[in-house]
Amino acid sequence: MEEILKLNQLSETPFRKKVLSIFQKHTEAIPVSVFEKELNDYNRITLYRTLKIFIEKKIIHEIAMSGQDTHYAICKETCSSTKHEHQHIHFKCKKCETISCVSLALFPTIEVPNHKIDQLEIQATGFCANCEE
């Protein structure tokens, strides 16, 4: 995990390491409130700045679902250093309210007349594997 910082030419500050370790601990996407809870000593500005740098470096991405606080998730697959390219959907469970990145074997492409799509985000709601009845 710490190699991520090195690979992206970011200095390995204890704070950045701590934020990364929080991402590592969670399989689902996480809102800022989780960072605030788990970082016992933090500065809000530093936290936001760190998340912003991680997004710019394509280490993590933002998930903005309507009615939800912004969530953050680690980028796994295809994101290069220049572009986020997610072959997954964002899924919100209506019961446990977790938001997670769910990979698809085949990510759909959509053609829209007279528009060039360079990023497609699919959001879905339902019940996750833990909550399915």
The site for Zn ion (CB under 5 A) is made up of: 61, 73, 75, 79, 84, 93, 95-96, 101, 128, 130-131
Nearest approach in angstroms of CB 77 to Zn ion is 8
Q: Which C-beta is closer to Zn ion: that of 26 or that of 84?
A: 84
Other C-beta atoms closer than 10 Å to the C-beta of 69 total: 13
**Could you tell me the two tokens for 69?**
């606080």
Alpha-carbon span 118 to 84, nearest angstrom: 10
Alpha-carbon span 29 to 66, nearest angstrom: 15
Nearest approach in angstroms of CB 131 to Zn ion is 3
Nearest approach in angstroms of CB 47 to Zn ion is 19
